[in-house]
Structure 1
Amino acid sequence: MSNGSLYTNIQNGIATVEFYHEASNSFPSELLNRLTKAFNELSENEDVRVIVLKSEKEKAFCAGASFNELIAIDNLEDGKQFFMGFANVINAMRTCSKIIIGRVQGKAVGGGVGLAAACDYCFASEAASIKLSELSIGIGPFVIEPAVERKIGVAAFTELTLDATSWQTAYWAKDKGLYAKVFETISEMDKEVDFFAEKLSNYSLEAIASLKKVLWKETENWDNLLEERAQISGKLVLSAETKKALQKFKK
C-alpha cells in the first residue's frame, strides 16, 4: 500500500479506473506506471466504450507526484524518469481510443491538474480547487503544461503558474475550460457522471475513436515534447536552490 492502489472495474461498457494513495492521492512512480498501462489496455479492450477516472475518498482528487520520491532524486537520469511518469500517463490518455471522463471530487495540485486536463470531459464538485505550486519549489509545471494550456489557454495558465501559492476555485477552473460542470455536492456530481457515461456508452465506438483523434489534433509531437519537458524538470530539481526549497517545504 506504500505505492498506493489502482482498481479497474468494467460494467456495461463503462470502465471505472480508481486510484488511491494515503498521501492525498499523490502518485509514486509505480502507480503512475500502472495507470499508464491501464489506459493503454482499456484503449484496446473492445468491451470498453467509455472510461471514468476517479480517486478514492472525498477529500483530495490528486496531490500530484510523490513528494518523497521527488526529494530523493540525486541524478539527472532519475530526475527525468521521475517526471516521465506523468508524461507517459498524459500521452496514454491522449492516444486512448475511448473518451475519458474525469470525476474530480476534491483539490487538485500539480500533476493532479494535469490529469484533469488530459481527460476529455471533466465533472467537479465545489471542493475541486486547483493549484500549480511547482514554481514555488524551484521547478515548473513543464510536463503538464501542454495539456493544461490546451484546456485553459495561455493567459489562464500563466496566472495559475505564476501565482503558485494561491488556490483557484472550481468555478474559476470551469470558466477557463478545465471543468465542464461543477456541482454543489459530490452526490449530485456522481449522478451526472453516471448518466453521462451511460449515454456515451451507447454511441458508436468508431465515431468516438475518430472524434477523439480530432479533439487531440496537432498533439502528435507530444511523445517527444513531454520527454523534453521531463528533461528540463529533471535538471531543475537537482539545483541547489530547488533542493533548499524542497527541504524547507518538507519541514
Structure 2
Amino acid sequence: MSYQNILTQTNNGITVITINRPNKLNALNKATIKELSVAFNEVNADKNTKVVVLTGSGEKAFVAGADISEFANFSEEKGGKLAAKGQRILFDYIENLSKPVIAAVNGFALGGGLELAMACHIRIASDNAKMGLPEVSLGVIPGYGGTQRLPQLVGKGRAMEMIMTAGMIDANTAKDYGLVNYVVALGELMPLAEKLAGKMMRNSPVAIGKAIKAVNAGFHIDKDGYAMEIKQFGKCFATADFKEGTTAFLGKRPAQFPGE
C-alpha cells in the first residue's frame, strides 16, 4: 500500500514505522490511524518482520496529540464510536500483536501520542522527550486506552495526577515512573531500538508471541493471567521452536529458531 502519512522500512528483520507529518508534529488524524492500522496488519503477516519499531519523523515529536479539528464538533455518539474504532483497529491491535513493538519516543508524546506509545510493548525515549495526557484541559478524557494503560505502567496515584493536572513530564521522570525503559540522546535512540530488537530476534518468535499473550492477560479483569500462562506454556511444547531451542541447549550450540 502507498502511504501518505507514514513511512515503513524493513531491514534485517526489523520494520521501522515512522509517522511522517512533521509539519503537524506528527499529530494523529483519522487517515494516519487508518494507515497505521494497515501497516501493522501487514507487518503482522510479514514473515520477514521479527520486531517493529514505531517512531515519529523529525526531532521534535513522536506524536504531539490528536488532530482536534476532526472531532471538535462531534456528538456523544460520534465521540464514543471514534474511541471504540481507534482502540479496535490500532491501539488494542498493537498491544496484542504477537511480534514485539518498541516505541522510540523522539520528542513530544502527548494525548493520543502517549496512548500510542503505551500500546507498544516497550518504550524508550530521547532525552528531549516530553509526555502527558492533556485531554481534560479540552473538556474530554483520554479515549484510546490512556486511563487504563497509564495506571498499569506508573501506578494509580501518578496516573491520576498526570491526567487531572494535564501536565507534562520529562523523559527522566518518565523513566523514574517506569513509563519508559531507557533514556538516551536523540542520536542514540534508533541504535538502541535496533540493539534491543537484535536481542529479541535471537530468541524464539513463537515463544515471544505466547509470552506477550500471557503477560497481557494479567492486566485484563475478564481474563486469568495464570491460566493463560499455563495454556501458552503447554502450547510451546508442540512447537518446532521448542524442539530447536532444547536441542540446541543440550548440544551446546546457538539455536536457529524456525519460527514455527
TM range (shorter): 0.7 to 0.9
CA contact (8 A) 1:33 1:85 kept: no
Q: Which amino acid aligns with 1:47?
A: N
Instruction: Give the counterpart letter for 2:171 in structure 1.
Output: A
**Identity fraction in percent:** 28
1:34-64 deviation digits (Å, cap 9, x = unpaired): 2122222322322211110011010011122
TM-score, structure 2 normalization? 0.77
1:37-96: CA deviations, max 9, x gaps?
A: 2222322322211110011010011122211102242x3343223323541311111121
Q: State how far apart, in whole Å, the 2-side matches of 1:19 and 1:53 are.
A: 8
How far has the Cα of 1:189 moved from its partner? 2.0
Aligned residue runs from structure 1 range 2-41, under 5 A:
5-21=5-21, 22-41=23-42
Count of matched residue pairs:
217
Matches within 5 A, 1:77-88: 77-88=77-88
Mapped to 1, the partners of 2:104 and 2:164 lie a distance apart of: 26
- Which residue pairs with 1:208 in the alignment? 208
CA distance in 2 between partners of 1:102 and 1:16 (Å):
10
Match of 1:236 in 2: none
| Partner-residue secondary structure (3-state), 1:71 | coil
Query: Is the Cα contact below 8 Å between 2:5 and 2:35 reproduced in 1?
Result: no
Q: Are 1:160 and 2:162 matched, yes or no?
A: yes
Structure 2 portions without partners, runs of 5+: 223-260
Q: Secondary structure at the match of 1:207?
A: helix
Instruction: Please give the secondary structure, in 1, of the residue aligned with 2:65.
Output: coil
Higher relative contact order by CA 8 Å / sep ≥ 6: 1 or 2? 1
TM-score after normalising by structure 1: 0.80
Partner of 1:122: 123
The answer (yes or no) to whether the contact 2:104–2:193 under 8 Å persists in 1 is yes
Q: Give the Cα–Cα distance (whole angstroms) in 1 for the partners of residues 141 and 37 of structure 2.
A: 22
1:143 paired to 2:129: no
Max Rg structure = 2
- Give the conservation status (yes or no) of the 8 Å contact 1:118–1:148: no
| Superposed CA offset, 1:164-218 (max 9, x none) | 1x221111111111100001x2112222112111222222111111111122114
CA distance in 2, matches of 1:61, 1:114: 11
Return closer, same or farther for 1:153/1:86 CA change in 2, 3 Å cut-off: farther
**Secondary structure, aligned partner of 1:140:** coil
**Superposition deviation, residue 133 in structure 1:** 0.9
Match of 2:103 in 1: 102
Code of the residue aligned with 1:177 in structure 2: it is G
In structure 2, what is the equivalent of residue 245 of structure 1? none
CA displacement, residues 89-124 of structure 1 (integer Å, 9 cap, x when unaligned): 111111211010110010111111111111111110
Secondary structure of residue in 1 paired with 2:72: helix
Measure the CA separation in 2 of the matches of 1:46 and 1:220. Answer: 29
Q: Deviations over 1:113-171 (max 9, x none)?
A: 1111111111101111112111111111143222222211211110101111x221111
Q: Which whole-Å CA distance do the structure 1 matches of 2:157 and 2:220 have between them?
A: 23
Going from structure 1 to structure 2, the CA distance change for 1:213 and 1:17 (only over 3 Å counts) comes to: same
Question: Do residues 170 (structure 1) and 174 (structure 2) align?
Answer: no
**Stretches of structure 1 lacking an aligned partner (at least 5 in a row):** 223-251
- Give distance in 2, aligned partners of 1:161 and 1:215: 25
Is the contact made by 1:32 and 1:85 (CA closer than 8 Å) also made in structure 2? Answer: no
CA–CA distance in 2 between the matches of 1:7 and 1:84? 25
